[in-house]
């Protein structure tokens, strides 16, 4: 999982003293000039900040180029004595949130200091370092109908732009893992540090810039983009994309107003992608590089492996893989009492999350770290699903898709 920028409320109050210039009334004197000075008091604050661990303040007078610096250690205020002028104020450092998260922060502002008291609100932003999409939520557990039957539709991926830039969803790949987190086998060759072995992968259609996603916004990829509320599911009519399926036994009705994902590979019949309700798969979000097609991807990424089965024989399998260098986010899901392994390299995801038992109507949702400068949620992303996701959470789309 990977990282980006959040707006946290952080206010700097700048108070200044007056500047005085006096001249002698004696014609023989040229007068005495007293340097114009102000006291600039910077006060730090934030609704979700527990401690201002280290904040570097740099104040630049834009006309003279004079720079004043100060490092605050576990302090929330400092007063500077400065000449009148036009100033650029820059803050960078580390804070600890009320959730005990240590995060990097920064902010800039410009202000003319030319009165006795100057007040400046300086919003801090939390620095996130990934520059691509994240998996915000996967609803795979399924629901029970009102008469207690298992309902196998109404599942979805929610993919979010957790950056400050406009991103394009074209050519994003959503893949399910070949291996389970609840089954540990010694496979040969083991390529987890180089690639993500897959059981299926679907690709967002588009040539590169057909599907813009604004900062903090998201796309929904639904198994079936219809209203499932009559079966105790969710209204996914306004999904951005849907899984294609020609399986007549599922009774799925294609929504002609919602584009289908392109299935590059699946081990299931009827060109299906299916999410296990039993919380045991890994999921990867990748981007198909320029110049690659579904055909070249398959031609270049075959994965043949073997393992010793329970009968003592050797099982040989041939599947496909996604290079780790293509992956922009991933997560492992499991059942707490059955966990045996993660199916990603730890640098992509070092933990796991869960929504179990199956058909409990719960989901896995990423934790909210704060707010972006545009008011959208900024989500936690430390490449560790144990820390980044809320287990058995309420689905974000239970009241429909609202952007």
Nearest to 365 by CA among 104, 99, 160, 131: 160
Tell whether 95 and 140 lie within a shared domain: no
Tell whether 337 and 251 lie within a shared domain: yes
155 and 256 in contact (C-beta within 8 Å)?
Answer: no
* Domain C-terminal end among 106, 127, 148: 127
Please give the Cα distance from 390 to 397 (Å, whole number).
15
Tell whether 179 and 43 lie within a shared domain: no
* Domain C-terminal end among 91, 109, 127: 127
Q: Is the pLDDT of residue 14 over 60?
A: no
Q: What is the pLDDT of residue 47?
A: 65
Range of the domain at 68: 5-22+34-127
For residues 115 and 351, the model is more confident at 351
Residue 331 domain-assigned (yes or no): yes
Strands (E), 214-253: 218-222, 241-242
Residue 112 domain-assigned (yes or no): yes
What is the mean predicted confidence (pLDDT) over 239-265? 86
Q: What is the pLDDT of residues 109-135, one digit of tens each?
A: 777 888 888 887 777 766 665 679 999
- Per-residue pLDDT band for 251 (boundaries 50, 70, 90) equals low
Residue 399 domain-assigned (yes or no): no
Q: Which two tokens stand for residue 382?
A: 């430390």
Residue 227 domain-assigned (yes or no): yes
Number of domains forming the structure of the chain: 2
Please give the Cα distance from 243 to 33 (Å, whole number).
77
DSSP secondary structure string, 29-64? ----PPPPEEEEEEE---TTEEEEEEEEEEEEETTT
Tell whether 213 and 113 lie within a shared domain: no
Q: What is the pLDDT of residue 86?
A: 86
What residues contact 169, with CB distance under 8 A and at least 6 apart?
133, 159, 204, 206, 211, 212, 213, 219, 240
Q: What is the pLDDT of residues 142-155, one digit of tens each?
A: 999 999 999 988 99
pTM for this one? Answer: 0.75
Q: Is the pLDDT of residue 239 over 60?
A: yes
SS3 label, residue 270: helix
Residue 240 domain-assigned (yes or no): yes
Residue 378 domain-assigned (yes or no): yes
Q: Which two tokens stand for residue 271?
A: 């060109």
Please give the Cα distance from 234 to 399 (Å, whole number).
7
Tell whether 151 and 262 lie within a shared domain: yes
Q: Is the pLDDT of residue 214 over 90?
A: yes
Tell whether 96 and 205 lie within a shared domain: no
Q: Is the pLDDT of residue 25 over 50?
A: no
Tell whether 227 and 336 lie within a shared domain: yes
CA 126 to chain CA mean position, Å: 13
Tell whether 217 and 115 lie within a shared domain: no
Residue in this structure with the two tokens 């796991």, named with its chain if needed: 352
Tell whether 81 and 158 lie within a shared domain: no
* Domain C-terminal end among 93, 109, 127: 127
Which domain CATH number covers 15? 2.60.40.10
Residue 113 domain-assigned (yes or no): yes
Tell whether 64 and 84 lie within a shared domain: yes
SS3 label, residue 88: strand
Residue 401 domain-assigned (yes or no): no
Tell whether 40 and 152 lie within a shared domain: no
Q: What is the pLDDT of residues 279-316, one digit of tens each?
A: 999 999 999 999 999 999 999 999 999 999 999 999 99
- Kindly compute the dihedral angle of the four CA atoms of residues 207, 209, 211, 214, in this order, to the nearest 10 degrees: 160
Tell whether 91 and 152 lie within a shared domain: no
């Amino acid at each position: 999982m990977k990282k980006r920028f959040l707006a946290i409320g952080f206010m700097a109050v700048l108070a200044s003293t007056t500047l005085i210039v006096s001249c002698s009334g004696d014609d023989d004197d040229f007068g005495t000039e007293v340097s114009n000075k102000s006291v600039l008091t910077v006060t730090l604050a934030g609704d979700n900040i527990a401690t201002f661990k280290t904040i570097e303040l740099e104040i630049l007078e834009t006309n003279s180029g004079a720079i004043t610096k100060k490092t605050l250690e576990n302090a929330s205020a400092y007063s500077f004595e400065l000449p009148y002028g036009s100033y650029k104020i820059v803050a960078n450092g580390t804070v600890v949130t009320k959730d005990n998260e240590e995060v990097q922060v920064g902010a800039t502002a410009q202000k003319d200091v030319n009165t006795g008291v100057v007040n400046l609100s300086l919003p801090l932003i939390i620095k996130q370092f990934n520059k691509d999409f994240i998996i915000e939520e996967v609803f795979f557990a399924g629901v029970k109908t009102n008469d207690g039957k298992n309902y196998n539709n109404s599942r979805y991926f929610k993919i979010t732009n957790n950056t400050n830039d406009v991103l394009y969803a074209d050519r994003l790949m959503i893949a399910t893992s070949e291996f389970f987190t609840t089954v540990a086998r010694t496979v040969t060759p083991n390529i987890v540090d180089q690639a993500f072995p897959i059981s299926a992968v679907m690709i967002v259609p588009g040539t590169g810039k057909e599907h813009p996603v604004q900062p903090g916004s998201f796309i929904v990829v639904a198994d079936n983009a219809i209203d499932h509320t009559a079966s105790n599911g969710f209204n996914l009519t306004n999904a951005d994309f849907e899984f294609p399926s020609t399986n007549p036994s599922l009774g799925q009705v294609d929504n002609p107003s919602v584009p289908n994902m392109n299935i590059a590979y699946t081990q299931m019949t009827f060109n299906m992608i299916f999410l296990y309700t039993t919380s045991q798969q890994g999921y990867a979000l990748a981007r198909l590089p320029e110049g690659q097609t579904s055909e070249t991807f398959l031609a270049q990424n075959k994965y043949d492996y073997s393992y010793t089965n329970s009968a003592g024989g050797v099982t040989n399998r041939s599947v496909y893989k996604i290079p780790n260098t293509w992956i922009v986010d991933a997560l492992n899901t499991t059942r707490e009492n059955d966990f045996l392994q993660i199916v990603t390299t730890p640098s992509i995801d070092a933990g796991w999350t869960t929504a179990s038992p199956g058909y409990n109507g719960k989901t896995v949702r990423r934790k909210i770290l704060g707010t972006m400068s545009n008011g959208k949620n900024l989500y936690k992303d430390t490449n560790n699903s144990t820390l980044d996701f809320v287990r058995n959470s309420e689905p974000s789309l239970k009241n429909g898709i609202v952007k």
